[in-house]
Structure 1
Amino acid sequence: MPTIYIISGPAGAGKSTLSKKLVSSLPKSARIEGDTVNHMVAGGYLPPWKSPALLELTWRNIADLTVNFIGQRMDVVIDYVAFPDEVKRFKKQVENRVQCRIKYVVLQVDRDELIRRDESRPEEYRMGPRSVELLEQFNRSGVKDCFVLNTTTFHLGELEKLEEIIRREERFFL
């Protein structure tokens, strides 16, 4: 049965890097970058934290893409900031249409390391204070501990280890 992997967490936690590694290890798979779907809106664009309507549209579009890929028997890796309430709505949208399993992984990182990572990014990708705001928002969101994977001490050379944890551990299943 196809699996959907929702790789979430604040900006700088390692979502994009890890989701690229994960999707490359799956034999038949697709990667959906939530920011790309969100930025498809041109006229009237607002950041997702400023427009609940556009955020909802982004999630509906992610769900539709996911269903299409699942229909082709592909595993799907979603790289996006996904809070527990958004994941619950997404799960309902998808599971009503296709049979699949869903894993939810929230990458967490200590505040100082998050700031360091953000500052080491190319300037156009830096989130500045928004990274810390997202970290704090995740801490308040009620995400269950079983879905949290702390990446503070992991380095790029250990991506295979993180990818294997996500693929093998049952605790991430919704």
Structure 2
Amino acid sequence: MRKIFIVSGPAGVGKSTTARRLAEQFNHSAYIEGDLVNHMVVGGYLPPWESGELKLLVWDNLADLCINFVQAGKDVVIDYVAFPQDLRRFSEQVWKEIENVEIHYVVLWAGRDELLRRDSLRDTDDQMGERCLELVEEFLSKGVEPRFFYNTTGLKPSELNEIVTEIMKNPSYKF
């Protein structure tokens, strides 16, 4: 049975680093950076939080990519901001095409001060600033079940392997 992991969370929490390392754990895998799919739209681009239509298009494309990769025998790891309503629609699309696939969802989490500290360490062009905190509030308001949260506040980069192992083995992340 193939698996799809969706690694989510606010900006600066470590989604990309964690998701990429997670994808490296599988013999046959694909890593999808959701922001790259989002930025494929050039003319008429709006940030996903400003355009529901473009957000749906990104999720349709993510589902299609996952279907293609799973049908080619790959486990898939998606690195993108995802809320429960996104996951429900995405899962329906995937399961309509492929029955024998597990979908896992984890929301990496960190305290507000830690998020801002991590964000400040990014290249200036990649910093999200207050958007990090807006995403915290959005996750809290969207009804994400507590079982999907993984708090990384006190964890060090050297503990990345433990984080990845927890995500792979914890059945509570199964959607």
Superposition TM-score, scaled by structure 2 size:
0.98
Give the structure 2 partner of residue 66 of structure 1.
66
Matched, 1:109 2:114: no
Distance in 2 separating the partners of 1:73 and 1:151:
31
Write out per-residue CA displacement over residues 10-50 of structure 1, whole angstroms, 9 at most, x where no aligned residue: 00111001001101111100011100000000111000001
* In the alignment, structure 1 residue 165 sits paired with structure 2 residue 170: no
Quote the residue 2:124 is aligned against. 123
Question: Cα offset for 1:139?
Answer: 1.1
Question: What is the CA–CA distance in structure 1 between the aligned matches of 2:90 and 2:61, rounded to whole Å?
Answer: 10
Unmatched 5+ residue regions in structure 2?
none
Deviations for 1:132-153, whole angstroms, at most 9, x for unmatched residues?
0001110111100111100111
Q: Counterparts of 1:173 and 1:45 in 2: how far apart (Å)? A: 33
1:20-39 pair list within 5 angstroms: 20-39=20-39
Within 2, Cα distance between the matches of 1:154 and 1:89? 32
Deviation at 1:73, TM superposition (A): 1.4
Work out the CA distance in 2 between the residues paired with 1:93 and 1:106: 21
Q: Which residue matches 1:90?
A: 90
3-state SS of the aligned residue for 2:49? helix
The C-alpha deviation readout for 1:111-158, integer Å capped at 9, x for no partner, is 000010011111011001101000111011110011110011111111
Tell me the alpha carbon deviations over residues 79-115 of structure 1, each in whole angstroms, 9 at most, x when there is no partner. Answer: 0000111111100010110120010000111000001
Aligned-partner Cα distance in 2 for 1:33–1:45: 17
Alignment RMSD: 0.6
Structure 1, unpaired ranges of 5+: none
Corresponding residue for residue 147 of structure 1:
148
What percent identity do the matched residue pairs reach?
Answer: 48
Counterpart secondary structure, 2:41: coil
User: What is the number of residues matched between the two proteins?
Assistant: 174
Partner of 1:76: 76
Work out whether 1:2 is the aligned partner of 2:9: no
The structural deviation recorded for 1:169 is 0.7
**CA separation in 2, counterparts of 1:148 and 1:109?**
10
Q: How far apart, CA to CA, are the structure 2 residues paired with 1:27 and 1:135?
A: 34
* AA of the residue aligned to 1:100: V
